[in-house]
Structure 1
């Protein structure tokens, strides 16, 4: 498929992203001396910036490639929630699925960076399942959104959205009943809640942990993927391997390793978000699976060359494609 045709097909898609949304906050500055009070650097703050994080970064990557995107998750009734909403609107994301939860703060990850050196991360969060009323509000909004989209991504950071008992199972069943593909970025070892998804995309550490729990060998990628795909009712599985690229297993079409395609690596935060967003967009647009994974691998290689959480843009992807 030619890039122009692929872009047109992606522009006709709408993808629903459900998960734990976050606000990424950056403190940019310099360190020129050590504190006289303790052996720690003195950070001179120059600038504060914000970006969409967690599931919202997945949505921003989809939008960057040209997809219409609906975002579903929780934010708090606080200043950070207002900043998040403004960023989401500015990025053109659909926000009708977002719900305010007064019992929790907006999840914020604050990174302190001095001249491209990541010094510290500060997390502000409250990990818990929302109450029953908010759960029902969320399900009602999802029932309205599921019919409007062509694919669903579950972005699980174990902060609250998928801590509802039975919620993830319900959502996958509703999506598959409508014949919509479901892609999952997992967290933790309870993969039973992801049963029946189209694809799960663990990173190498997550893959190793679930493989060991199942009595499998993490070193045997093909054999372990085969067992996991069968046990959890998946169509196929993609493992993101960081500096080693990506690995695809399909029970009928076989397995492939895609070497990393990064030119320079500045910041790996958000690379998994880019990978699952790009894979979903390319696969749902009709690309053959192997080609969709190859292109997703290329997109992940582009974003690790950026400092901070920044989504892939179609122009960057097309330029990299031409260069290769």
Structure 2
């Protein structure tokens, strides 16, 4: 795909509106240097230099969509705590609306704190609840979703198994999105893996698919078999199987399989790469792009974000620059 084609697809993003519903979180980074080992235990002493707060989970997906020029409608659950205020501030600072986030004082805002020294992660601290949401909260979430669905081009479900996406809520979201004629994409995790039957795009990573299907991939033939099984069991239109440094494979039908290699770049941090892939592919599939073109665009986007330290969104301008003027390949 050349730059002209990429620019044509990217230009269409600006007219698109995507509901992103799923587990929102804060990614907090504490940066510092290590010059000695603690006398209290065999651990490094971090001399803190600063902190950074970024959007994570479904909020990072929405951030990617906004950075690519489209309009995200972010629906999720936050607590009534410092993490919630941090998340709302971060959402609004990045020109998105926090109006559709629902506060549930019974649970903390999901917050992951990473301590980084000399470009290496030393430790991660998680503050979260994975208990299923209450029926009252489920109804509030569904009401927000119903109020926005008629204006949306797509529904992107980002499941991190943090308790928001219960089987009942998933079924309601899919049915209402279908009724509205919306494209539906899913980035799953283990717990609800097979609850997403009938969606348009299902994007698991290799580890998730291996675990849920009870398969171990040893060669390309196994990957193809895995994709076919996912298509059959989930009754979906497409499966995009991400395979880390080995690229990803797009399955559009039993015999229509496309392997898409990674775009070679120096890797600093793979955090958030999956968020970028699902955001970019979903947007691409709301345009006149073919599924392969949308996936190639997503591969280029992921290649950019893994070259950044910490979770960071892809930018419209930097994505188009990764395509050469005359490149007709992937």
Q: TM-score, length-normalised on structure 2?
A: 0.93
Measure how far apart 1:292 and its partner are: 0.8
Summarize the alignment of residues 142-221 of structure 1 with structure 2, pairs less than 5 Å apart.
Answer: 142-162=145-165, 164-212=166-214, 218-219=217-218, 220-221=222-223
CA distance in 1, matches of 2:193, 2:119: 36
Question: 74, 79, 88: which one pairs with 1:76?
Answer: 79
CA contact (8 A) 1:207 1:218 kept: no
For the aligned residue pairs, the C-alpha RMSD in angstroms reads 1.5
Name the counterpart of 2:60: 57
Question: Deviation digits for residues 165-198 of structure 1, max 9, x if unmatched?
Answer: 4110110111112111111110115433101111
Measure how far apart 1:312 and its partner are: 0.4
Measure how far apart 1:72 and its partner are: 0.4
Name the counterpart of 1:263: 265
CA contact (8 A) 2:277 2:299 kept: yes
Name the counterpart of 1:17: 20
CA distance in 2, matches of 1:250, 1:259: 17
Partner secondary structure for residue 151 of structure 2: coil
Partner secondary structure for residue 306 of structure 1: coil
Name the counterpart of 1:279: 281
Question: 222, 227, 242: which one pairs with 2:224?
Answer: 222
CA distance in 2, matches of 1:253, 1:228: 13
Name the counterpart of 2:314: 312
Question: Deviation digits for residues 109-155 of structure 1, max 9, x if unmatched?
Answer: 00000120111111001111121111111111100111111001100
Question: 131, 136, 139: which one pairs with 1:133?
Answer: 136
CA contact (8 A) 2:167 2:195 kept: no
Higher-RCO chain (CA-CA 8 Å, sequence separation at least 6): 2
CA contact (8 A) 2:167 2:192 kept: no
CA contact (8 A) 1:18 1:73 kept: yes
CA distance in 2, matches of 1:189, 1:86: 30
Pair 314,91 (structure 1): closer, same or farther in 2 beyond 3 Å: same
CA distance in 2, matches of 1:190, 1:113: 32
CA distance in 2, matches of 1:251, 1:322: 30
CA distance in 2, matches of 1:5, 1:301: 20
Name the counterpart of 1:301: 303
Measure how far apart 1:4 and its partner are: 3.8
Measure how far apart 1:233 and its partner are: 1.2
**How many residue pairs align between the two structures?**
320
Name the counterpart of 1:103: 106
CA distance in 2, matches of 1:256, 1:85: 39
Name the counterpart of 1:6: 9
Measure how far apart 1:322 and its partner are: 3.0
Pair 37,17 (structure 1): closer, same or farther in 2 beyond 3 Å: same
CA distance in 2, matches of 1:165, 1:195: 11
Pair 319,154 (structure 1): closer, same or farther in 2 beyond 3 Å: same
Residue segments in structure 1 that go unaligned for 5+ positions in a row: none
CA contact (8 A) 2:30 2:51 kept: yes
Pair 38,217 (structure 1): closer, same or farther in 2 beyond 3 Å: closer
